[in-house]
Amino acid sequence: MPRWIGLLAGMFAVVVVSPASAQWTRYELGRRLRTFEQTWDQTPDPQARARAAEKTIPATSQFFAFNLPEAGRTLDLARLALLSAKPASPEVLWAASLSLRPQSHLLDASTRELSYRLEPFYKPRTDQPEKVQLRLTLINDTLSRSLGTVDIDKLPLAGKVPLKDLKPGDYTLRMEILAGKTVLARGTQTLSLVDRLEDRLKTLHAELEKIPSEKRRCADGCTATQLHETLTELARGEFPETDYPASQLLTQAEECVKALRRGESALGQKKPGQFWLTIPDGKSTLPLRMLAPDAVKKGDPLPVVIALHGLGVTENMWFDAYGAGGIVRLCQERGWLLVAPRYAHTEMVNTLLDEVEKLYPIDRKKVFLVGHSMGAGQAIGYLSRHPEKYRAVAALGGGGGLRVSDGIKEAAVFIGVGTEDRLAVAGARALQRTLKNATIRMLAYQEYKGIDHLVVVQVALPEVFAFFDKQLKR
């Protein structure tokens, strides 16, 4: 068995049995990844990107060795390398290591105080500087309220901040580490406040139970059920791997239940936006995230991009990471639907498209697949079995075996891999040779110099979509 397959299998085992105590570690690593990717997008300088890309190389092996704090340090160092060619000061390195953990990301709107804990995410390799402070601010579209500034005498630091007179809704909680007027580090999280939180969750569950199980086997029923589970976990103080607009999602779940009772659907209906959905999938269910672009308002059949994530992560990567959600912007610009399922199996695509088409019209002749790592292998597997279904396929940081058939000759495939991607570069090259020998209609192969497994999606996506655009012109 190749070494990288063994590593992925081991990662899968840990993800499945990961204890609750590891939730915050996964969330905090994801937050640092998003911050790095946002900084990358804001720093087009090639030399700065080259510095950063070199520093990201250890992150993949650290992730698959389950050393998530050390992977966080690597991402922080790469982000700082983007900002300057000079080594970061000891004060900045110390501040970058800090992690703010609130008591919960979902609270009842009547809550008067928010408890928190500030401590290093990884062990800083420098001493704590003198006279540093923590400043917290709560922000939404209409509000920017300081929650106070406190001295950091020693770590860990436990404290409370007031939450008085705040309207229900989804807020950004901003943390800043200060040395005088200088901001040494900054980070954000989502904090949601909901009126009558406990009662509404109980009512949502009770109303779902009143609906016959066969009537719940639809997108509205499955979505409301999954959202109730996610929101209950958040209310208990658990931390999924990303930020959720929990106030918005609770309202969506309640609307789904009301629609079910009327024999209708609250989903689709030409509504644009980003959605956390769950659809029936045989005897099970399939969680996914979807972008319905503004173009859905017209009601015309749209192209659809199915995005398959790698092992050890979920569908949230495509919306919140993988280039700071760059694929969302690319699909919105083109007016294409974007669907990212949580996992993939042999018949998943058929189920996925059938269920999505109940919500929004799809142009079945314009279905694109893009996958990263394990998802890249799955995308190639789907292409092998049903080449006629996909206008084009992109495999990034992965590949997999390909079953050559007469139908494959009409395929269009983009392969992208980093030269420093020890997990995938050999497999990507082998896939290129196989496809070239199969004389497929269009093959694009790109190796990105100095890029590793982690960054390849962010770097390759513009070329992937340029490749997809060409397929619509033929």
Separation CA 68–CA 121 (nearest Å)? 9
Mean pLDDT calculated for residue range 452-470: 96
pLDDT at 16 exceeding the cut of 60: no
Question: pLDDT-derived band of residue 473, with 50, 70 and 90 as boundaries?
Answer: confident
pLDDT at 13 exceeding the cut of 60: no
Task: Convert the pLDDT of each residue in 74-87 to its tens digit.
Answer: 999 999 999 999 99
Separation CA 153–CA 157 (nearest Å)? 8
Q: Which two tokens stand for residue 402?
A: 């390909």
Q: Which of 391, 386, 381, 382 shows the shortest CA–CA distance to 413?
A: 391
pLDDT score at 235? 97
List the 182-194 sheet strands across, edge first: 106-108, 182-194, 169-179, 133-139, 144-151
pLDDT score at 346? 63
Mean pLDDT calculated for residue range 6-29: 57
pLDDT at 9 exceeding the cut of 80: no
- Average pLDDT over the chain, rounded to whole? 92
pLDDT score at 21? 54
Task: Convert the pLDDT of each residue in 177-221 to its tens digit.
Answer: 999 999 999 999 999 999 999 999 999 999 999 999 999 999 999
DSSP-derived secondary structure for 404-424: --GGGGG-EEEEEEETT-TTT
Mean pLDDT calculated for residue range 57-73: 93
pLDDT score at 37? 94
Q: Which helix (H) or strand (E) holds 246?
A: helix 246-261
Question: pLDDT-derived band of residue 18, with 50, 70 and 90 as boundaries?
Answer: very low
pTM above 0.85, yes or no: yes
Task: Convert the pLDDT of each residue in 297-309 to its tens digit.
Answer: 999 999 999 999 9
pLDDT at 253 exceeding the cut of 80: yes
CA atoms within 13 A on the CB side of 335: 13
pLDDT score at 348? 81
- Residue 274 φ/ψ, nearest 5 degrees: -105, 140
Task: Convert the pLDDT of each residue in 87-125 to its tens digit.
Answer: 999 999 999 999 999 999 999 999 999 999 999 999 999
pLDDT score at 20? 46
pLDDT score at 15? 38
Axis-axis angle for helices 246-261, 197-210 (nearest 10): 30
pLDDT score at 201? 98
Task: Convert the pLDDT of each residue in 396-454 to its tens digit.
Answer: 999 877 878 888 999 999 999 999 998 899 999 999 999 999 999 999 999 999 999 98
Cα angle value 136/141/142 (rounded, 5°): 85
pLDDT at 345 exceeding the cut of 80: no
Indicate the DSSP class of residue 20: G
